Structure 1
């Protein structure tokens, strides 16, 4: 079982992702923006972080930059999930480990989660 931090400002997406991951044996914490996610990750580093790109207060690129600059968190694998074109996102950040385009199938999400958890 892995501890996964899900970050999305759309509550229904965060809930659906959380339920999917919990159904597959993971412990999930949810944050609604990058600032809240950074605080949660700093308190208890997750085994994996899944973040949306477009969010208020601190977007996905800013969150990823903050995670990668932290000695305690830089090792955490990150999945970036977005409806935006990945090529546009790559211009803002390349420091994530996996990308899942929205909307994504359950199988695709789980495939990327398991790949990054080394299973």
Structure 2
């Protein structure tokens, strides 16, 4: 989160998938970065729910995980990227810049 903010991105953080779902519905972001391991619902289930809501626009997803097999499942859900833990800031920032419209800045709430 700090690396993204320092790079000039607006970042909205959720403690779990339920809170993230509310944020996404209220103001669809340009990109979702989701940990695979979250309470209540894992990151894969969360993104599957986002993809199933046809009222939402397509939102690129980057998964964060310490599990190798997560990359395959993430790609099946249409993830545009995967960052293994421990997170390398340069890798994450490169992926974000590649998939955010305009290449550098996430807008604030719409």
Normalised TM-score (structure 1): 0.77
Gaps of 5+ in 1: 1-17
**The one of 69, 84, 100 aligned to 2:67:** 84
Aligned 8 A contact 1:67 1:74 in 2: no
Contact kept in structure 2, 1:61 and 1:93, CA below 8 Å? no
Superposition CA RMSD, Å: 1.7
**Match in the other structure for 1:49:** 32
Q: How many residues align?
A: 101
2:56 pairs, out of 51, 66, 73, with 73
Q: Which has the higher contact order (CA 8 A, sep 6+)?
A: 2
Q: 1:59 and 2:59 equivalent? A: no
* Farther off after superposition, 88-97 or 67-76: 88-97
Offset of residue 100 of structure 1:
0.7
| TM-score, with structure 2 as normaliser | 0.82
Runs of 4+ in 1 over 2 A off after TM superposition: 87-93
Greater strand proportion: 1
